[in-house]
Structure 1
Amino acid sequence: MVDRLHETRSQFDEIAKDCEALQLRESDGERRPNNKRPPTGHMVDEESIFGRAAEITEVINFILSEKDKSFSVISIVGKGGLGKTTIAQLVYKDERISQCFDLNGWVCVSEEFDVKRLIKATIESFSKTNCGVSELSPLQEVLAGTVKGKTMLLVLDDVWNENKSLWELFRVPFKEAKMVRILVTTRNEKVANIMQTTTYFSPTYLPEDSSWQLFQHYAFSGTSDTVPIHLVDMGRVITRRCGGLPLALKSISSLLRHEADEEIWREILDSDIWEIKESKEDIFPALQISYAHLPAHLKPCFLFCSMYPKDYILAKEDLIKLWIAHGYIESRSKRNIIEIGDEYYNELKERSFLDDAHTYPNETCKLHDIIHDLGRLISENEHCSVEINHPLDIQERTVPGEAYHLYARGSMVYVNQIPQQTMKGLRTIFMDIDPNKDYKHGYCTNCTNFSRLWMEDCEDCLGDVTLCNLTQFKVLRVLIVKWDILTKTPHSISELKHLTYLRITSKRLNVLPLSIGLLYNLLALM
């Protein structure tokens, strides 16, 4: 009996540690919604922007005034969450800008300055059609032809590149254009210097009156006239603590929307997290408070999204199925579990943890880059993504042993070597094999026919070479393989007994092995 009591106490101690690590509170279970909330979008529009009119007008006037220059770069520089992208979006959609240029394009750059990807994205943004070219020189020729003799405005959002040679490779085709204006958003002034910026704009923190307007827009649906005075007073103090950072204000006010419980407001106001000084960004204390007050069932759903690279577009339908596969969505009474997942998705949007990407033909979302940073900060090494295109990448971008969810993108030869690392607890593997990366220089270790030593001569073995190592991950629940030239999957895939979600995307795969039928936990096969 004594041993059983000790064992039970140890289990309670473990639960207490888990609760502390996940920042769970006693009220989390009680606050789980029982009714479906209406979806709320956060796409940028005039009604949700406050205090930026003068800066937007200044950028527009500068772009329109430099008609004597054939090429200029205008950079909006400032810390994360300050509203750089919002300013750029409103400049881009202004009628004066759209009418002034023959071509208008928007490209989200993010951390990796992949010249081929960016040139291709620029062509597609200008032409509004898909570009089937994949090699650098032909891409440059297509872009040069597209802009030849025309005036163009290109927005490059969220640039991190400090390599001048990559920038020069990207800008070469623009020499064919009549007039070029490139609007850049970046957190780093060095990046702007490398791009030979002619003019810098640095957004300021929102003044207190504009901050209060933004807070009211999300917390009180635009007006505080019918809100109890004590909540208004606390709201003004919380607004000042956000320090004029729009994303912090939006996050906190979205959390408090429709929240009438004074205790919750007081808890947020008195939180110790406001005092954190070591954060790399002033915005993190406000966002950490928003995360701490997420209902318990939404926390793993949000953190799962941080597995993907920054700016990755997530399809709503797929995301909900992945949450179900991991057991993040609990079926209640006779309600359809997809409907409950839809409810989770809409609440994360309402709380500003997910942003709309586009809604047609299928609804998609993405994480703001600061929200993505927050997810990675909280989950530490449990959610990660890597780009592997070279042998050195495997050493430099080692996947942590404690990783639970992994997104790996790049060349098949090198992505295939990731499973050789010690990651026994993996629950998710998403292998995104780039069909444009050269796989011909890898040896086929499966094949005994030495006349077919190179993989390009041994397509029958490609599936085995790619997937055979995955069976060591005995607790894997989700496996996604995206590779256009995959021709077969190994029978050994049936050893993944805990697999609940299997998705293989290939133009050449026609048949799955019969052993798939042994995956008795499988909920989704695509």
Structure 2
Amino acid sequence: MIDCHKFKRIEERQQPISVEIETHVSGRDKDKEVLLELLLKSDDEGNFVIPIIGMAGIGKTTLAQLVYNDTCVQNHFDLKAWVCVSDDFDITRITKAILQSVSFEPSNDNNMTSLEEKLKKNLSEKKFLTVLDDVWNENYHNWTILQSPFLTRIPGSKVVVTTRNLDVSATMGASHAHSLKVLSEDDCLSVFAQHALGSTNFGGHPNLEKVAKKIVRKCNGLPLAAKTLKGLLRTNVDHDAWKEILESEIWQLSEHRCEGFLQEARDKQHIKDLGHKYFRDLLSRSLLQISNKDNSRFVMHDLINDLAQSVAGEICFRIEGDKKISKQARHLSYIGSKYDAIKKFKGICEAKHCRTFLPLRLSNNRCCYVTNNVLTYLLPDLRCLRVLSLRGYQITMLPDFITDLKHLWYLDFSETFIKSLPESVSTFYNLETLLLMGCEKLEKLPTEMEHLVNLCHLNIICAHRLEGMPSNFGTLTDLQTVSNFVVGKGEGYQIRELKNSSNLKGQLCISGLKNVTETQDAWKVKLQDKAGLDELELEWSGDFDNRTEEVEKKVLDLLQPSKKLKKLAIKNYCGATLAKWVGDSSFNNLLSFCLKDCPNCMSLPSIGKLPLLKEVRIKGLYSVSDVGVEFFGENKPNAFPSLEILQFEDMPKWEKWSFCEVDEEARRFPRLRELRITNCPQLLWTMPKCLPSLEMLVIHVCEKLVISVSSLPMLSVLEIEGCDKVVYKGFADQSSLKRVSFSKLSKFICVAEWLVLGSVRVKSLELCSLRENNWGLLTQSMSLCNMTIQNWPQLFSIGADEERDQLMQLKIPCRVEQMKIWKCEGFKKLSATFQSITSLRVLELWSYPKLISLSKSSLPLNLKTLVIGKWKNLRCLLEEGEEYQHQ
């Protein structure tokens, strides 16, 4: 049996000759610079191990060789060693190889104790560099043994590790890892030319450059793929031969190969966990990668994708273009478009043994349609379907053919407009997964769902119109994940239906708790015993009429969850006090806490003592007037040791936020990165004097608040609207501040003066409804790149204008690249000096009803984009010297 967790390769890699220096390495100058910085200038023990991580063929070994042989590295380290580790993490072999490199003597000794002593002696009081190339080991014990001789090192010694596996970095205790990206097309072309022609360009063979670019495009940024072609093309400069390579079948395969068997889980309870494990394995080995555009999605490099398609053949078929669907297809997928008509699915009727029908969405566009012909005439022929998804299509009713799909085990109708499921769905006895996420019009589930005896996963997130779960829902004892359980009215729809769901994992929201009339029903659920739950949301109702505070308090008491819970949210609760278990120190695994729309709640729970809590959101607590020491935890000096995000919103009676003495204040919120306070109009508060990690401060509609940012060394984003005063005197270093937004401030009239302080390096500035009398100072700002000005009624011109008062003109800093001006009703023109702002690339002008024309000659020469919006009377853009003639 092959160990599928290790993905063993068949052949051993050849040991690279580390002393060979490539004459030209393209596209890695910045990577080399970063690594040299870590090797030569950092004595931090956290950087003792420096991993270089990336997929196969991306150039990890080449980069390591490049820095290993660098002259500065040669002079910096007393000793150097290079070992190719590969799959077999043989500690004895690796130790012997390092010893031979640093002692310059061969060794026949195979005794590990003896080898360790010799290596320790050779490394003692020496600054050394060791490169471990192609490491796969994730065993912490093995690494501990290998590094024991390194303990006698002096500061500055380094171990560079090249690996495909993200987990290796954590195993070796590395603080940071350098991830290697694919080369740009130009750099990859240079690599290709170097290895195919012995030159970095095509000066000697211009006729080959065009076809070379096409070949390189297929390499998709992998330098090893470009190098590998040298064996086919080296010294052959015939154009037809190169074109033959371009059109060759070699692109159908790749050198990346992994072999193993996906072992089936022992029971249904472990299938999903096993799938997650294998997925993480593929991700950690760079066979899958996190998308740069959306970190919730994953992508596969094109060469690996080509391999996967080659192996799958016609069994896994991707519908695209004019490709006719194969009769052999078992699994169909396609990128869903706005309109999917019958033409797209030509030949699908012949794939009668198809098991999977899966549309994929690359955008968040929810206006997607599939024609009735597809649903009525094509899909009914696919009676062998196991997996069916119609996700995202704007269908209001499910087609009748659904009844015939008795073999289904996965059904996804998420983000559709259906109001109900056919009762026949209850006869899908093999169904394991039912997804109805975002079905905002869904009103009910099949009444006889208890017949779905194999159902493991039910997701009805955002199905807000659902009034209750079906009766006898509690008989579905195989359920592992239920996103929402809606407590209904009447017998058979009560919360006690959850009592037998002992296998629940992940996330659970229990809503409709106002319908719990018998408090003992809450006790029967036994949430304490459901240790697999990571996230719990308890929600009553936004309608607070005819509510009984005493009953709700008792229900909350009895719904105490497991101590392993990581996220907790309580919403629409009408009690004046929370249950004692909320915030109890025994919930030491809690990472996130949310308390929302609890209008009668008088105080906050003591959550400051929870050691792992990272995120706290408090909203709609209309009765709280004082946030005092109880919030931090009684007698708890180091409050909120891990908190990173803190948010307060809609607390109209909140007046006082009590901190303790200054010396204790310094020990609170040591890791807080983001603080948001919104719509707390009565709050009288001076910010803590020490928030060393704060990066984002957002304050909205807190009229009485005085804000000081004098001692926030890490602040990057500052957004303040509708507050009494901003204090800026006595600023320390503010070089970290990058984006500032001020709106409707009563007592901050020196914005321009503050922005040009030597320590301020703001790049983006948004100003709304401010009275400022010193805008001319803005021209002194050397860092400002992006400006937005809104609701400045006195503004007459953009750019210097000698005919107007300083208050009526906006002078532009010399490096501004983007500018947006909104609703400045007095604005009449762009001054002559505005054209000299050569850095400006984008200009947006919105809502100027008085203007009827705009002169092109006043626009900056390098302007690329001009956006004009809501100019009701605009007639034209005038050329130089032209005047508008109203007719």
Return the TM-score normalized by structure 2: 0.26
Higher helix share: 1
Larger Rg over CA atoms: 2
**TM-score, normalised with respect to structure 1:** 0.44
Report which structure shows greater RCO (CA 8 Å, sep ≥6).
1
